[in-house]
């Protein structure tokens, strides 16, 4: 049986891509409300202290921990040596915090943070050479992470070169499963038009981390029809938490729960905190997951 820890990401309180969303919120409030809502851990947000000793003390006061954190890399566009140095420094920060996983995402040519783009029409595509550079770099990163006691999980993401099922398949086939795992994010898969159930079935033994969020289908269709950017799609309300959208997570995640998965389920839904109260939605998701999946 699986060993699952349930956490909540800080992006509902303060958005990393749009720091003005929730910009007035302190990191202490975020950590306190994550704990209050009944979660065991969280991920790194842009408000959190860079000094691991300071952050660790605040986490310990609330009885929660760091599960993982996003690390954007530029393996397709920048020299490997530069990216390796940044990755090693980030892994050392994660180790100091006692984290389990690094969520890696290639940001070369990404449009996810650009407002004057269409998240569908302007999506980047890698050349064969860029695919080789990405796969080689990630395999090398995987060795580094493993030496430091961390798992490395790839985060497929809207507006990047690894978004679709075909692209996920290509990356997984080009990388070593002992070095690179897959982060499964239902929200990004549904937004892109993929089947999360299919991805889980294909890669169940290789799942290293899970982000649980849902979509509002009518907003995703609006994003496609009106050629919205990824950020404008968020502002329009494309994402929400488990228990507030159409996905039956009890059925979708049952294969993971019944497997030998040993890792985190991280609730994550980028929303405008002025519209969607972060604590309220964190509680909605926590209650739903406990009632529907028993986690």
Instruction: Write out pLDDT tens, residues 18-60.
Output: 888 888 999 999 999 999 999 999 999 999 999 999 999 999 9
Distance CA(193)–CA(179), nearest Å, equals 28
Question: Which residues, 6 or more positions from 57, have their beta carbon under 8 angstroms from its beta carbon?
Answer: none
Instruction: Write out pLDDT tens, residues 244-294.
Output: 999 999 999 999 999 999 999 999 989 999 999 999 999 999 999 999 999
Distance CA(293)–CA(252), nearest Å, equals 10
Distance CA(237)–CA(256), nearest Å, equals 28
Both tokens assigned to 20 = 């003005």
Neighbouring-strand partners of residue 72: 105
- Sketch the domain layout of the chain as residue ranges: 5-293
pLDDT over threshold 80, residue 1:
no
Distance CA(182)–CA(252), nearest Å, equals 17
Class of domain 5-293: alpha beta
Closest to 6 in 3D by CA, of 70, 64, 57? 64
Say what the pLDDT of residue 68 is. Answer: 98
Distance CA(283)–CA(190), nearest Å, equals 23
Q: Tell me the whole-structure pTM to 2 decimals.
A: 0.97
Say what the pLDDT of residue 21 is. Answer: 86
Question: Which residues, 6 or more positions from 144, have their beta carbon under 8 angstroms from its beta carbon?
Answer: 84, 87, 88, 91
């Amino acid at each position: 049986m699986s060993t699952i820890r349930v956490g909540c990401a800080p992006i509902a309180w303060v958005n990393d891509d749009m720091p003005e969303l929730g910009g007035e919120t302190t990191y202490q409030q975020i950590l306190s409300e994550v704990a209050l809502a009944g979660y065991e851990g969280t991920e790194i947000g842009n408000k959190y202290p860079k000094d691991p000793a300071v952050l660790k003390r605040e986490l310990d006061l609330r009885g929660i921990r760091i599960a993982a954190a996003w690390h954007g890399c530029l393996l397709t566009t920048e020299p490997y040596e530069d990216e390796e140095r940044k990755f090693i420094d980030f892994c050392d920060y994660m180790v100091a915090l006692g984290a389990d996983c690094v969520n890696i995402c290639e940001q070369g040519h990404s449009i996810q943070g650009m407002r004057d783009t269409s998240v569908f029409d302007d999506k980047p595509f890698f050349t064969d050479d860029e695919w080789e550079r990405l796969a080689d770099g990630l395999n090398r990163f995987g060795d580094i992470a493993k030496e430091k006691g961390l798992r490395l999980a790839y985060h497929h993401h809207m507006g990047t070169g690894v978004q679709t099922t075909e692209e996920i398949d290509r990356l997984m086939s080009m990388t070593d499963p002992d070095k690179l795992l897959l982060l499964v994010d239902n929200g990004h898969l549904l937004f892109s038009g993929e089947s999360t159930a299919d991805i889980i079935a294909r890669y169940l033994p290789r799942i290293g981390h899970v982000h649980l969020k849902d979509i509002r289908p009518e907003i995703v269709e609006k994003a496609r029809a009106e050629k919205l950017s990824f950020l404008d799609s968020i502002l329009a309300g494309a994402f929400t938490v488990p228990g507030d959208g159409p996905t039956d997570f009890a059925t979708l995640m049952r294969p993971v729960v019944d497997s030998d998965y040993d890792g985190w389920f991280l609730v994550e839904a980028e929303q405008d905190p002025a519209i969607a109260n972060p604590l309220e939605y964190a509680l909605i998701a926590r209650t739903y997951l406990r009632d529907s999946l028993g986690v």
